Homo-oligomer: A and B are copies of this chain.
C-alpha cells in the first residue's frame, strides 16, 4: 500500500510537481487526513464538489493550509486515485485454465470499486498510474495474461486495452452518478432515447430507427460484460493468428 520503497516514478511534463513532506509532524493535518477528507467529499458530493476549499473546510481549516502537505489539487487527485486503486482486490493466483474469467473478475472489481467512489473515475481516466497499488494491479494482470498463453507482445498491449476499456466504462458510470440521477431517472432517460431513435426520419436514418431497441437494450452490467467478452475473444483470435 505504501510506495516509498519504489524508485522515483517518471512524471509527464505537464503534470504538476511532486515533492511534499514525507512524514508530516502529524499535528492535526497530514497528507493521509487530507486524502481521507477529499475522498469523503467525492463519495458524498462528487468530483465537482472537490475543492481545496471544501477539503479544508472538512478539516476545519483554510485552503492555504493544505499546501504544506499536498503540492496541488492535481497531486491530491493523484493520491486519491492511488488510494482507490488500492481497494481493488486482485485475489487468486493466475490460473492458465481460467485466465478469461480472472480478467473479467478483476475488471468487474475495478469497475465496482470506482462506482463506490462517485465519479472519481473521471479524474482517473487518461492518467498513467505509477503508484504501488496500480503497479500491483498491472503485475497481476500481466501474470494472468501470460499464464493464459498470450505472447509478451500481445500482453503488453492488452494490459492497456483492458484498463482503458474498464476505466472508460467506469467514467460513464460516474456521469450518471455525478448528475445526482436516480436509477429510475436513468431508466426513464434510456426510454426517451429509444423513442427518439425510433421517431427519426426513416429515409435518412433507416438503420438507427430499425435498431432503436437494440441500441438502448441491456443494462450497464450486460453492456460491460459484452465488451469484456469481445475484448477477450479478440485477444484470443489475435494470439492465434500471431503464432
Give A contacts to B, CB under 8 Å. Answer: 5-10, 12-15, 122, 125-126, 128, 130, 135-136, 138-139, 142-143, 146, 152-153, 155-161, 164-165, 168-169, 171-172, 175-176, 178-181, 185, 189, 192-193, 195-196, 199-201, 204-208, 210-211, 213-218, 223, 226-227, 229-238, 241
- Return the contact of A237 from the options B7, B125, B179, B236 (Cβ within 8 A): B236
Given A152-B211, A158-B230, 6 new contacts (CB under 8 A): A6-B201, A130-B196, A142-B208, A157-B214, A157-B218, A231-B234
- Return the contact of A234 from the options B13, B185, B208, B229 (Cβ within 8 A): B229
Q: How far is the CA of A156 from the CA of B208 in the complex (A)?
A: 9
- Return the contact of A126 from the options B12, B156, B171 (Cβ within 8 A): B171
B175 near A126 (CB under 8 angstroms)?
yes
By beta carbon, the residue of chain B nearest A143 is B207
Q: How far is the CA of A41 from the CA of B201 in the complex (A)?
A: 35
- Min CB distance A136 to B, Å, is 8
By beta carbon, the residue of chain B nearest A241 is B233
A211 near B142 (CB under 8 angstroms)?
yes
* B residues less than 8 Å from A160 (CB atoms): 215, 223
B142 near A180 (CB under 8 angstroms)?
no
* B residues less than 8 Å from A139 (CB atoms): 204-208
- List 30 A-B pairs, Cβ < 8 Å: A5-B201, A8-B196, A10-B195, A12-B179, A14-B175, A14-B176, A14-B178, A15-B179, A125-B125, A126-B175, A128-B193, A135-B200, A135-B208, A136-B204, A138-B208, A138-B215, A143-B207, A153-B214, A157-B214, A157-B223, A157-B227, A230-B234, A230-B235, A231-B234, A233-B234, A233-B241, A234-B234, A234-B237, A236-B237, A237-B237
- Return the contact of A233 from the options B5, B152, B201, B238 (Cβ within 8 A): B238
By beta carbon, the residue of chain B nearest A175 is B126
* B residues less than 8 Å from A5 (CB atoms): 201
* B residues less than 8 Å from A9 (CB atoms): 196
By beta carbon, the residue of chain B nearest A240 is B233
By beta carbon, the residue of chain B nearest A165 is B165
* B residues less than 8 Å from A193 (CB atoms): 10, 128, 130
- Min CB distance A160 to B, Å, is 7
